[in-house]
Structure 1
Amino acid sequence: MKLSSRVSWFLLAFGVWSWIIWITFVKNLWKDGSGLAFDDAGDPTAYFWVHLTLAVVSFLLGTGVGLIGFRSVRRLREEAAGDAAAVGSRTANE
């Protein structure tokens, strides 16, 4: 399946956004001082594990979506370069 340039760039941007958001989220979760993520003894709570799982799964899905967008953008650029080279060789032969 061939994706449009707009969709390809959106998917790539979504992947980058996921990296920024979910890595930041995990850092903040790890430093949580409100008592939600860690109990008084410093042990992780169920809140911590649920949100860490959510973050890891979302990060992996975002990475997959970003890779699809990256591959599609790269393919579109290669096709555009190939088309430009074909046009250039046709005009040189005429």
Structure 2
Amino acid sequence: MQDTTEGPAETTPDTAPGRPRGLVLSRPVSWFLLAFGVWSWFVWITFVKNLWKDSSGLAFDDAGDPTGYFWIHLLLAITSFLLGSAIGLIGIRGLRASRRN
């Protein structure tokens, strides 16, 4: 039978005072996430610029109205902007946390 009485709390490296709680990212992983966020913005901004000035007829019809292709790819770009921003922010937070330790 196990002893269920509570004794003094043990301090482990994960629960030591002053230690951040939760996941701690390494500096290389944090830099990778930040670089991924920046890369995502670079790639998708370039793509949206090219999509906007598309003259092949895929993005805009003969009347100059946006096509389904345009709207789907604009939605993909917006989603990638948001995900790239979130991933880059995680990288920034990881770098800031590693400086404090």
Unaligned runs of 5+ in 1: 80-94
Q: Could you say which structure has the larger radius of gyration?
A: 2
**Aligned residues, how many?**
79
The whole-number CA distance in structure 2 between the counterparts of 1:58 and 1:16 is 11
- Which residue does the alignment assign to 2:44? 22
The two structures, once aligned, show a CA RMSD in angstroms of 0.7
TM-score, normalising length: structure 1? 0.81
The whole-number CA distance in structure 1 between the counterparts of 2:63 and 2:91 is 44
- Which residue does the alignment assign to 2:56? 34
TM-score, normalising length: structure 2? 0.76
Percent identity over the alignment? 72
- Which residue does the alignment assign to 1:74? 96
**Hey, which bits of structure 1, 4+ residues long, moved more than 6 A?**
none
Residue number among 78, 84, 88 corresponding to 1:56 in the alignment: 78
The whole-number CA distance in structure 2 between the counterparts of 1:29 and 1:14 is 22
Q: Which has the higher helix share?
A: 1
Q: Which amino acid in structure 2 is aligned with residue 76 of structure 1?
A: S
